Amino acid sequence: MMPELATSQESDGEARLAALAVLAQQVRDLADAVTLTEVPQAELTAVTAELVALTERLGTARRETPLPPEFGPGGRYRHLGNAVVGDCNPHALPLVVEPDAGGGVRAGLAFRPSHEGPPGFVHGGVSAMVLDHLLGSAVAAAGKAAMTGTLSLRYRRPVPYGAPLVATAAVSRGEGRKTWAEGLIALPDGTALVEATGLFITPSQWVGVETRS
C-alpha cells in the first residue's frame, strides 16, 4: 500500500516536468474557459475537434498512472500527479502547502469558476478535498504517514471563488497509530469559512516511514 518513493534522478527530466506543469496550467485555464464560454455552437464543435486531436497527440506516449510521490531536487517531497497539490495534474489547484510558524501547515489559494457548487460559490466537496489534504499534510509534517479515517466539516459561510483565501491545519493530538488534526479555510482577515477535524490512521506497514524531507 505504501508507495515506493522515487528520487528525482529516477523520474523525468526537470525541464520536461516544468513543460508538463505549464501544459497542466493551460488545461486548468481551458476548463474555466469551457465553464464560462458563450461562443456559438459551430465554434464549440470546431474547438472540440481540435481538442480531440490534441488528446490523441498526448496519448501517443502514455503512463499507466499519474506521476508518483517522490523526493525531488534538494530532497523536497513532491507529488506532481496528486489531485490537490500536483503541478502536473490539471485537476489540482495546485495547492502549495508550507510549514507555518506554529508547527502546522498553511496554503494560500484561490478557487476557480470551474469549482462551482451553489451558484457563485465553491462546491462543498471541493472544500472538503482541500481540507482533507491540508489536514493530512499537517499529520505528515508532524512525522506520521497516515490516511484519512474520518473527516468532519462545518460549513460556516459560502466559499467564494476568484478571491484569495488561506487554508491552515495542525495536529491536535496523537495516540498510537491515530493522529487527530484540525484546520480551516478562511478569508485573509481570518474569517472562518469552512472548519475541519479529521482522524488520520497510520497503516501498520507505514509505521516509521519518513514523511519529512
Three-class DSSP category at 75:
helix
Q: Identify the residue among 81, 86, 104, 136 touching ligand 3IX (CB under 6 A).
A: 136
Decide whether 156 or 178 has the Cβ nearer to ligand 3IX. Answer: 178
Binding test (CB under 6 A) with ligand 3IX, winner from 37, 48, 150, 191: 150
Residue 89: count of CB within 10 angstroms of its CB:
22
Q: Which residue is nearest to ligand 3IX (CB)?
A: 136
Could you say which of 103, 118, 149, 188 contacts ligand 3IX (CB under 6 A)?
149
Is residue 201 involved in binding ligand 3IX (CB under 6 A)? yes
Nearest to 196, CA basis, from 146, 156, 163: 156
Cell numbers linked to 163: 478571491
Q: Is 125 in the site for ligand 3IX (CB under 6 A)?
A: no
Per-residue cell: 63? 503512463
DSSP alpha helices (H): ranges in the chain?
A: 14-36, 41-58, 124-141
Is the Cβ of residue 50 or residue 205 nearer to ligand 3IX in the bound state? 205
Q: What is the DSSP string of 87-115?
A: TT-TT------EE-TTSSEEEEE---GGG
Tell me the Cα Rg of the chain. 19
Among 6, 21, 128, 199, binds ligand 3IX (CB under 6 A): 199
User: Is residue 170 close enough to count as binding ligand 3IX by CB under 6 A?
Assistant: no
E strands of 54-117, at which residues? 69-71, 77-79, 98-99, 105-109
Strands 165-175, 147-155: pairing is unpaired
| Contact pattern for ligand 3IX over residues 173 through 192, marking x by CB under 6 A | ----xx--------------
Could you say whether residue 143 binds ligand 3IX (CB under 6 A)?
no
Residues at the site binding ligand 3IX, with contacts judged by CB under 6 A = 69, 77, 132-133, 136-137, 140, 145, 147-150, 177-178, 199, 201, 203-204, 209, 211
